[in-house]
A and B are shown apart, each in its own frame.
Chain A
Amino acid sequence: MLALLQYEFMRNALLAALLASIACGIIGVYVVVKRIVFISGGIAHAAFGGIGLGYLLGIEPLLGVVPFSIGAALSMGIVGRRTRIPEDTAIGILWAIGMALGVVFIGLTPGYAPDLFGYLFGSILAVPASDLVLMLIMNAAIIVTVITLYREFQAISFDEEYATAMGLPTERLYLLLLCLIALTVVLLIRVVGVILVIALLTIPAALSKRFTHRLSTMMALSVLLCALFTTGGLWLSYILDLASGATIVLFSGCAFLITTVLFQHQ
């Protein structure tokens, strides 16, 4: 493994995996305990529209994804809360619209079509150094927000109605949490791609939930597990010569299945 580090693309890939793990471990805990896996999956898929937008505008695709996925997250949250449309219906509709927009935007882009496979299923071996800076900034934003609003997010995750009764601005907090999920999705796109994002948002957090009943401990554990899965999956993909994103997801999935079976027999 150490020999691999002489390659710059490998060093970047490892750094990207570790950076993504921080945000993913922390935000994944909220996704799992607040049971908002479906909306997170919706945000991740809709984010594909942002990649198309980035190509169409001729900017760095990840920069197109940030506003687009935040927009998708806010639309799903607001439509689900304030209109008569049920939230899961809104998610389903926006999920597909986001992806469709991505395809149309890319079709409208002059020149030949870019390689979409990397955005759909991850391209961690092709992370440029500029992306690492963007990932660092987004991580910082996520960590600062979660530290500042730790109690508030805990309250709306555990019992949103009670939090409202205590005078918390629960809807705004929920929408902010969705925006943090959107940022995390952007961080994870390079690692596993929009389609596989949901695995890394759920598996490490769901596993860590078995070992603790404190949200903060769960976050720390989940970050560690996420780092383990992404780097371990990356290494496995290298020695087995398989697609990195898919290997990371399958590695996490196996770990989850094995622990589930082990815990069932205890």
Chain B
Amino acid sequence: MTTMPPENGEIVRLEDVWLHFDGVPVLEAIYLSIQQHDFLGIIGPNGGGKSTLLKVILGLLEPTRGEVTVFGHTPEQGRRYVGYVPQFSLFDRDFPISVWDVVLMGRMGHSKRFSRYSDEDKRCAENALETVEMLKFRNTRIGTLSGGQQQRVFIARALVTEPRLLLLDEPMTSVDSPMQTELYELFESLRAHMAIVMVSHDISAISIYVDTVACLNRKLYYHGTKELLTEDLEAAYQCPVELIAHGVPHRVLKEHE
């Protein structure tokens, strides 16, 4: 049994983390520190290692080298305080399962093994669905919902363990624009209770709501601020980048021949 993590201070620490797939480096010398109530956006090109970084924090992937601490423990022990919303494309829309069962599934790591779900599990699932405003869809098959609604259910599945850190992998994929704003407002309201790390390949999606932005393309370009340095972006994207006025969505434009 792990002890409860402290209320304040650092919750995740990565020190000189390297990860290789088949000898090819995917992450190089990553240093990262996440504090309570942070809202960190990680941007970078596709294949830049963003999902991989989240999986290292979750303990799903073992770094080749370096140290990862999650709530003062190893990632495997620390992840009971972590909620995770994986990349959207990974799920089979045809799967026969109701919204309620998907959300309850999030309790499995916490409830007793080889038994039925307890009343507490059900209460937590109800609260989580209430938070994302999806309780009325509890008996609906998840595949029949819209992209944005499905994403809310997956967020509820992550919230059902009452996590202290929420990891979001490209949460806006297949969510239409009005729904995106609503989701950002949801994350904003969740911040009172947890830190949030959000990964995206889309800079404009991330810039308004987050506190700090990091760029990841094998290496992490990170200054603990929201200001994006043009040099960092260009180093991460390896192409000329144009930043248009602060406070409005930034754009990455590829230079034309």
Chain A residues with CB under 8 Å of chain B are 33, 35, 148-149, 151-152, 154-155, 157-159, 161-168, 209, 212-215, 218
Contacts and interface: CB of A to CB of B under 8 A. Distances in A.
Interface stretch (B83-91, B127-135, B209-217, B229-237): B83-91
Given A152-B108, A155-B105, A158-B105, A167 B79 contact: yes
11 contacts: A33-B95, A151-B117, A157-B95, A158-B91, A158-B97, A161-B86, A162-B157, A165-B58, A165-B79, A165-B86, A167-B109
Given A161-B86, A162-B105, A214-B101, 20 more contacts: A149-B114, A151-B108, A155-B108, A159-B86, A159-B91, A161-B60, A161-B90, A162-B86, A163-B105, A163-B108, A165-B109, A166-B108, A167-B76, A167-B80, A168-B109, A213-B98, A213-B141, A214-B98, A215-B96, A218-B96
B84 A165 contact: yes
Given A158-B91, A162-B86, A164-B60, A214 B96 contact: yes
Closest 10 pairs (CB-CB, A-B): A166-B109, A213-B141, A167-B109, A213-B96, A166-B108, A165-B58, A165-B84, A155-B105, A158-B95, A218-B96
B102 interface: yes
Q: Which of B90, B94, B96, B141 has the largest count of A CB atoms less than 10 A from its CB?
A: B96
Contacts of B94: 209
Q: Which of B84, B106, B108 has the largest count of A CB atoms less than 10 A from its CB?
A: B108
Contacts of B119: none
A163 B107 CA distance: 10
B255 interface: no
B92 interface: yes
- Contact count band on B: 20 to 34
Main secondary structure on chain A at its contact with chain B? helix
A186 to B, nearest CB: 26
A247 B96 CA distance: 30
Contacts of A218: 96
Contacts, number: 66
Interface string B105-128: 110110000100100000000000
Contacts of A152: 108
Contacts of B101: 154, 214
Given A159-B90, A165-B84, A167-B79, A215 B97 contact: yes
Contacts of B95: 33, 157-158
A209 B92 CA distance: 14
A209 B96 contact: yes
Q: Which of A151, A154, A161, A214 has the largest count of B CB atoms less than 10 A from its CB?
A: A151
Given A151-B108, A213-B96, A158 B102 contact: yes
Contacts of B58: 165
A168 B108 CA distance: 8
Nearest to B54: A165
B209 to A, nearest CB: 25
Q: Which of B84, B90, B97, B157 has the largest count of A CB atoms less than 10 A from its CB?
A: B97
Interface in B38-92: 58, 60, 76, 79-80, 84, 86, 90-92
A209 B141 CA distance: 12
Contacts of B141: 213
Contacts of B114: 148-149
Nearest to B139: A213
Contacts of A163: 105, 108
